[in-house]
Amino acid sequence: MTGEQVVRILDETVDWYRTLGAQQQSATQPSDLLILYANRQIADRAIGLAFEIARANAELLSSEADVAQKAAADAASSPQALQRVQQQLDGRRAEIQAEIASTQRRLAAAPKAQGAEVQTRISGCKASSTS
Amino acid at 44: D
Amino acid at 74: D
Lowest mean pLDDT among 48-52, 78-82, 102-106, 120-124: 120-124
Q: Give how far the C-alpha of residue 39 lies from the chain's centroid of Cα atoms, to the nearest Å.
A: 41
- Whole-model pTM: value is 0.47
pLDDT in tens, 76-104: 667 777 788 788 888 888 888 887 777 77
- Where in the chain are the domains? 1-77, 78-131
- Distances in whole angstroms, Cα of residue 111 to Cα of each of 3, 99, 101: 65, 20, 18
pLDDT in tens, 4-14: 888 898 899 89
